[in-house]
């Protein structure tokens, strides 16, 4: 099975999720370092839809200026546009497999799609 993780190596939860993927037999892991290879708006919409969350629920406020920019109260389109412009606004990690997408906070949620 193939698993794609949108990964930030500086994030502990992302590293723990990646470790689960790498330790699971039969998983071929594709790592997308989204700070280097940013999301498209379409990909974000698809990930959020498939994970069953909103852009607001995936918005990273801690360690960013998203709150100061008013993104906490913004609409979905404005949040997604800001996330495309600055991928650090996307909380992490997201993992996608043939079984679905999970926003892996906590990291053990990844097991639901393996």
Which residues does the annotation mark as catalytic? 11
Tokens of residue 42, six digits:
């379409």
- 61-65-70 Cα angle (round to 5): 80
Count Cβ atoms within 10 A of the Cβ of residue 39 and give its class: 0-12 exposed, 13-18 middle, 19 or more buried.
buried
Three-state DSSP class for residue 103: strand
């Amino acid at each position: 099975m193939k698993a794609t993780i949108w990964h930030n190596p500086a994030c502990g939860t992302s590293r723990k999720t990646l470790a689960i993927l790498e330790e699971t037999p039969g998983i071929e892991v594709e790592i997308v370092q989204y700070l280097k290879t940013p999301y498209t708006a379409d990909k974000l919409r698809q990930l959020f839809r498939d994970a069953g969350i909103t852009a607001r629920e995936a918005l990273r406020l801690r360690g960013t200026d998203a709150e100061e920019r008013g993104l906490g109260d913004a609409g979905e389109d404005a949040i997604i546009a800001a996330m495309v412009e600055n991928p650090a606004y996307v909380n992490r990690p997201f993992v996608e497999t043939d079984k679905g997408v999970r926003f892996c906070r906590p990291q053990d949620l990844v097991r639901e799609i393996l």
